[in-house]
Amino acid sequence: MELKQSIFVYTEVEEGTLTKLSVELLGKARELAQSCSKAVIALVIGEHVREAAGQAIGYGADAAVVAEGPQFAGFDSILYARAVQQVIAAYTPSVFLLGATKDSRDIGGRVSAALQLGLVADVTGAEMKDGDDTVTWIRPAYTGKVFAAIRTKTRPQLATVGEGIFLHNASDPSRKGEIITAPLSLDGVTGKRRRTGFTAVAPEKMALSLENAEIIVGAGKGVGDKAGMEQVQAFAERIGAGFGVTKPLVDDGWISHDSQIGITGKKVAPKIYIALGISGALQHKLGIKDAKIIVAVNKDPDAPIFKFAHFGIVGDLFEAMPALEKRIKALQA
């Protein structure tokens, strides 16, 4: 099998298993490979990753290139990025996909700068026309108001993709593929990690997580300030709902990223999503697309959220909250 000029997927492994996003990327790579007759190769880096490399083949890779060993215990962006660069030099891939995670974005940025490659971030679509090895990437621009089609001239064509964009990739355990040790020479490469001690801290347990809440209240920039956000949070608690926010609230440091809903946050699927002071940008919309019912409160009648909300209230969220609370509690009684 020809490994050169193929479609590489940089995979991530957690506790010996490929992450959900890595599986999604392999599925998309397989789909692209069908239109251009290229092989799909998974790149798997870590301390113990052979088993995950086998999983990658089941999920659509024709082969897996593995960089394994104690030097890869824990993520070190300098070391990992250097390994990726050497793999790119050895196999000259046509396409190189990474997840839009903290670690993979770090690798993508470093590799793009070191090899002078274009990088398309947070793509939501990718297409290859028969016989042509150039990918047309689709990504939102101008805070989601338009979708831009982008083609990169450099090779490999680097792109990052968030979770939940390319769904539905099932494993086929009968698939066969070679597992190859990556040709690396990292002697003398000094990583940036300086670990002096490490204690794992369990994430704070919330009574209602965004993953399991049947009702979620989402707060947007319309809350005004941190105190406004806390009023919405208290409202969520009173009606027994989970609480999430848009990215600007996290960017302002009002709440941790664990509470962010959207393309670079959590994807939620409650029965009811109550969006308070949220404009409805595409990056947020993609995080709530599986909500059964969306109720939006926004004082701007032209806010984009009203285009996809099932119920809308044009008005001030702080005035709407008491009325909503009364109505919801009456329904819950």
- Would you tell me which residues interact with ligand FAD (CB under 6 A)? 122, 143-144, 220-222, 246-248, 260, 262-265, 277-279, 281, 283-284, 287, 297-300, 303, 316-317
Between 63 and 303, CB nearer to ligand FAD: 303
Between 60 and 280, CB nearer to ligand FAD: 280
Between 91 and 235, CB nearer to ligand FAD: 235
Q: Minimum Å distance from CB 327 to ligand FAD?
A: 17
Residue nearest to ligand FAD according to CB distances in the complex = 262
In whole angstroms, what is the distance from residue 58 CA to residue 290 CA?
27
Stated length of the chain = 333
In whole angstroms, what is the distance from residue 247 CA to residue 143 CA?
12
Q: Minimum Å distance from CB 278 to ligand FAD?
A: 4
Instruction: Locate the DSSP E strands across the chain.
Output: 7-11, 13-14, 17-18, 40-46, 63-68, 95-99, 119-123, 125-128, 135-141, 146-150, 157-161, 178-181, 215-219, 242-245, 272-276, 293-298, 311-314
Between 49 and 281, CB nearer to ligand FAD: 281
133 contacts 5 by C-beta, under 8 angstroms: yes
Q: Minimum Å distance from CB 288 to ligand FAD?
A: 9
Between 77 and 246, CB nearer to ligand FAD: 246
In whole angstroms, what is the distance from residue 69 CA to residue 50 CA?
10
Q: What is the DSSP string of 270-307?
A: -SEEEEES----HHHHHHHTT-SEEEEEES-TT-THHH
28 contacts 166 by C-beta, under 8 angstroms: yes
Q: Single out the residue of 3, 5, 1 nearest to residue 134, CA to CA.
A: 5
Q: Minimum Å distance from CB 315 to ligand FAD?
A: 7
Q: Minimum Å distance from CB 150 to ligand FAD?
A: 14
Q: Single out the residue of 75, 152, 158, 67 nearest to residue 121, CA to CA.
A: 158
Q: Minimum Å distance from CB 66 to ligand FAD?
A: 31
Between 93 and 262, CB nearer to ligand FAD: 262
Between 182 and 303, CB nearer to ligand FAD: 303
Q: Minimum Å distance from CB 163 to ligand FAD?
A: 11
Q: Which two tokens stand for residue 261?
A: 């809903």
